[in-house]
Structure 1
Amino acid sequence: MNIAETTTSNRLHYRSVPALHDLPRPVYARVEDIAQPKATQPHSHPWVQLSYASRGVLQIRTAEGWFLAPPQWAILVPPSVEHAVFNSPGTEMRSLYIATDALSEVGDTCQVLAVSGLLREMIQHFSQLPAEYDEDGAEGRLVSVMLDLVCEAPREAFSLPWPVEPRLRDICSAILESPERPLRMEEWSARAGVSVRTLERQFLQQTGLNLRRWRLRARLLRALPLLERGDSVTDVALDCGYESTSSFIAAFRQFFGVTPGRFTPQGPKKQGRSGS
């Protein structure tokens, strides 16, 4: 699969990627305030990238899947991994480019990290420092602690693995485009030309999730940008294919550990389509 296959909109505007040949210091901060939804073309870096947004929702898409981070989370991208970055409107990005010898053992696939309050403040502070900060002084010590916090940050399952088999990818694309559509295994297996049992086995082998759990995760991850932009919980539940708000809230809490109201800036005051 190429990354373009996971892009569902041709109306996106693209933003540039800085043409850096070397980092001026072991860690370099890139600050961007992006008013409109935008994306980068697929690209890679010879260093580690920590994509963090203090406001807005980030999505990073690779050949292996879709990784998503609302505020309080960040996405760690290993060196040389081709990826495209997508942002929701009003995103405030504070990305870190990190030399490979400064942050070891990052693995070979993207990871979603929980960002503590301390790490968030350190990233914000570091982003205001000059690019050629004093490595031997207080600024260098701040960087060392910040990288320690990145290494120790809990990893979260805010990702959607993408299968290799084209027929399975077609199923995933259809689910993302119409999450409200009932999941009928017999229909999907007939379209794929295999038995239901074979379909389920292949999907589990290639994604680590069965198709029902993959669809559940896809629905919940789809909800985050909608909640972050201020849509009501009721509207988001309907848009993501849930028949009731209560079932959506229960599934959301079970997966994320918090209620969807945490991600709705307007909170319960904003009215949904049904008036609740």
Structure 2
Amino acid sequence: MNRTEWLESGFPDNILQPVAGHMVVLDSAEEAHPHSHQKVQLLFAISGVITVEVEAGLWTVPPGCAIWIPSGATHAARFVGQASIAMLYLAPEIAASLRAECGIIFVPPLLRELILRFSRSHTPFEDSGMVKAGVGGPSAREERLVAVLMDELAAAPEEPLHLPMPRDRRLRRIALAMLDDPAQRLTIDEWGARVGASNRTLSRLFREETGMSFGVWRHQLHVGLGMQKLASGASVTNVALDLGYQNVGAFISMFKRMMGVSPARYFDLQQETVGEASSAEPMAPLAAAGAEVVEIGLERLRRR
């Protein structure tokens, strides 16, 4: 099977080690369709951007961050741009005391080195080697490294890059319309007129169901979409226009307010991260690079 099929097949559950992983380089956009496995999964974006869809919403994982996907969670993933990804699979019993839900964490230097160490130590795409690698159990040194990894994962700060999808049919109609056309600049009063609800009702429901105000939710959407477009090579100016901003300065100000740095600085930091990881062993390119990406994420959300 190729690597995308492997990722979706549940084969990671055959891993015998408490922690195992691998690294891949993607030359173009790729997508893993909805799947689940009993292993907890950690996807670390060394470069490029990962978008993960779970039932509760969409998660945009920028470079230097990782997403925690709990055991049994059905998820789909899209990898945007020339991405380098480190993937770890953790036995549920050792991860039980950590996060019970999806979450994006910032990866400090020590945690990054631990993730890279475990992701370089296996070549999981040869089925027999993957299973046999765990025979005999981990060494004492490996057990100590796993313990440090768990400590660092528990201490890693979370990043607020989740785009929660509301359940109320009126809010969902607004959310899906904005996903379809993020350049729309309607006010909450104008949206209320379209869906038959007052400003006050929509504002209250948005906070109750997403934990965000309408304005913050829209900015979170724009940050996620903006990072995807920038990772694909689009200019900041074109991204700003595509997202409905009257000028590039307004988009940069919004991005900096949400992320703490400008888009240019953000992707400069990405390149620094790539440079620090460049001393790693060569990473195997994902099979079938350049295959057509099936745009299924929004369609699945519409059907819910």
TM-score, normalised to structure 2's length?
0.76
Moved more, 39-48 or 136-145: 136-145
Aligned partner of 1:19 in structure 2 is 10
Name the aligned partner's letter for residue 127 of structure 1: S
Tell whether the 8 Å contact from 2:188 to 2:199 is kept in structure 1 after alignment.
yes
Aligned pairs for 1:79-118 (under 5 A) are 79-118=71-110
Q: In the comparison of the two structures, how many residue pairs are matched?
A: 254
C-alpha displacement of 1:52: 1.1
Aligned pairs for 1:7-46 (under 5 A) are 15-16=4-5, 17-20=8-11, 21-46=13-38
Q: Which runs of 5+ in 2 are unaligned?
A: 123-129, 271-304
Does 2:70 match 1:78?
Answer: yes
Aligned partner of 2:242 in structure 1 is 239
**Distance in 1 (alpha carbons) for counterparts of 2:159 and 2:10:** 31
More helix by share: 2
Match 1:165 to one of 158, 163, 168: 168
Q: CA, structure 1 residues 30+166, in 2 after alignment: closer, same or farther (shift >3 Å)?
A: farther
SS at match of 2:33: coil
**Distance in 1 (alpha carbons) for counterparts of 2:113 and 2:36:** 27
Q: Which runs of 5+ in 1 are unaligned?
A: 1-13, 268-276
**Distance in 2 (alpha carbons) for counterparts of 1:230 and 1:245:** 16
What percent identity do the matched residue pairs reach? 34
C-alpha displacement of 1:49: 0.9
Q: Describe the superposition over 1:55-74 as per-residue Cα deviations: whole angstroms up to 9, x where unpaired.
A: 21011111111111111000
Aligned partner of 1:69 in structure 2 is 61
Aligned pairs for 1:80-229 (under 5 A) are 80-130=72-122, 132=133, 135-229=138-232
Aligned partner of 2:258 in structure 1 is 255
TM-score, normalised to structure 1's length?
0.84
C-alpha displacement of 1:18: 4.1
C-alpha displacement of 1:208: 1.0
C-alpha displacement of 1:260: 0.9
SS at match of 1:41: strand
**Distance in 2 (alpha carbons) for counterparts of 1:177 and 1:262:** 28
Q: CA, structure 1 residues 253+186, in 2 after alignment: closer, same or farther (shift >3 Å)?
A: closer
Misfit runs of 4+, over 4 Å: none
Q: CA RMSD in A?
A: 2.3
Structure with greater contact order relative to length (CA < 8 Å, sep ≥ 6)? 2
**Distance in 1 (alpha carbons) for counterparts of 2:189 and 2:254:** 25
Name the aligned partner's letter for residue 52 of structure 1: F
